[in-house]
Amino acid sequence: MNKDNMYLLDKDNNIIGELDVERVKGNLFKGTIRIMDMKKSLRTLFQEYENLVNDQIFVAAERIKHKIDEYGFKLNDNTRSIEDVQIMQQNKISFREVNTK
C-alpha cells in the first residue's frame, strides 16, 4: 500500500484538513483527517449522510451526497481529482481518486 500525506481542499482552495491516508484498493483511499477549518454546515452534512446510510435511507442519503459534492473537494497538489468524499465519526475519511486518463 502506498501512504500519502496531503490536504483536503474545497473548490475555493480553503483547506478543510490534513489527511493521513493510504490507497487500500484501486482508486480507494482511507485514513484519517485532522480538521483544520470546516464550516459547521459542512460537518452537519457529513453527519447527516453517515446517519442516513447507517439507517439505510438511501434516497435521502443521495440528496445529501449531492450537496456534499457541490463543495468540489480536491487534493492540495491539484493534479488528482477526487470523488465520494466521506468524513465519518472519529475523523475517519474515505474517497476515490478519479481516473483522469
pTM, two decimal places: 0.87
Residue 41: give the domain boundaries.
3-97
**Which pLDDT score, from 0 to 100, does residue 1 have?**
44
The whole-chain average pLDDT of the chain stands at: 91
Backbone angles phi, psi at 69, to 5 degrees: -60, -25
Q: Order across the sheet with 82-88: list the strands.
A: 74-75, 3-9, 15-25, 28-35, 92-97, 82-88
- Counting the structural domains of the chain, the total is 1
Indicate if the pLDDT at residue 100 is higher than 70.
no
Q: Please report, rounded to a whole number, the percentage of residues in the chain having pLDDT higher than 90.
A: 82
